[in-house]
């Protein structure tokens, strides 16, 4: 049986998780500042090719956010052999851990694409594959960012995992998105072993 998560464990309160893919990039400091303003912790899935010591990764860790792997350079895993997948997943995990000194326990496959090889590798590396249940489609809405808010707020549900990216348009609407989620009565939680489902 394939083990993956696209929802958090049921909680006593309406809660959702904000996840951000494809960093760490130049918009990360702005995202962290907004999350800090609202006292929210999020989960970041990073491509290890973008991570180096001068990037603002330290603040991400210090402020309590979770960092997961998003491979080395975002390939479609379905097009890779077992060994190629293993390198993408293992090397990314190793590199993120070496830079941040934090254990990497979560993995998000690029494009949400995975197969039995992916699951076998993640089990071997003690990684939990994390998908999502609410997509913002922010990557395609640079010229219409308000739709990012609508795509999320109109589809909220208990224990949802929200897919976002470290993009300019996402930063622009993030406060409005957070407030829209809160206005619907939802709180925010973070991904950890205690709330995997």
Nearest to 96 by CA among 130, 132, 65, 139: 65
Mind listing the pLDDT tens digit for each residue in 80-122?
Answer: 999 999 999 999 999 999 999 999 999 999 999 999 999 999 9
Q: What is the pLDDT of residue 191?
A: 87
For residues 29-64, one letter each, b for 16 or more C-beta atoms within 10 angstroms of the residue's C-beta and e for the rest, the string is eebbebbeeeebbbbbbbbbebbeeebebeebeeee
Task: Mention the CATH class of domain 15-195.
Answer: alpha beta
pLDDT of 8 higher than 70: no
The average pLDDT across 40-60 equals: 92
The average pLDDT across 45-57 equals: 90
Length of the chain: 197
Mind listing the pLDDT tens digit for each residue in 18-39?
Answer: 999 999 999 999 999 999 999 9
More confident residue, 13 or 111: 111
| This prediction's pTM | 0.92
Separation between Cα atoms, residue 119 and residue 99, nearest integer Å: 25
Q: Could you tell me which residues come within 8 angstroms of residue 37 by beta carbon, excluding any fewer than 6 positions away? A: 175
Q: What is the pLDDT of residue 48?
A: 97
pLDDT of 4 higher than 70: no
Q: Domain residues of the chain, as ranges?
A: 15-195
Q: What is the pLDDT of residue 54?
A: 81
Q: What is the pLDDT of residue 193?
A: 53
The average pLDDT across 142-168 equals: 97
H-assigned helices in 38-139:
57-62, 82-100, 116-124
Contact of 88 with 131, CB cutoff 8 Å:
no
């Amino acid at each position: 049986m394939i083990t993956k998560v696209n929802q958090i464990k049921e909680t006593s309160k309406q809660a959702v998780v904000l996840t951000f893919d494809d960093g760490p990039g130049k918009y990360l400091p702005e995202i962290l500042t907004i999350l800090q303003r609202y006292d929210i912790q999020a989960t970041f899935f990073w491509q290890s090719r973008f991570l180096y010591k001068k990037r603002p990764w330290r603040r991400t860790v210090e402020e309590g956010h979770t960092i997961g792997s998003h491979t080395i350079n975002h390939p479609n895993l379905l097009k890779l052999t077992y060994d190629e997948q293993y390198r993408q997943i293992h090397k990314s995990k190793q590199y993120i851990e070496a830079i941040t000194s934090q254990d990497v326990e979560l993995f998000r496959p690029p494009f949400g694409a995975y197969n039995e090889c992916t699951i076998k590798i993640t089990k071997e590396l003690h990684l939990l594959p994390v998908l999502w249940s609410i997509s913002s489609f922010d990557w395609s809405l640079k010229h219409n960012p308000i739709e990012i808010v609508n795509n999320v707020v109109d589809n909220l549900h208990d224990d949802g995992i929200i897919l976002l990216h470290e993009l300019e348009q996402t930063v622009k609407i993030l406060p409005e998105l957070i407030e829209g989620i809160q206005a619907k009565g939802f709180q925010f939680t973070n991904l950890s072993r205690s709330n995997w489902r």
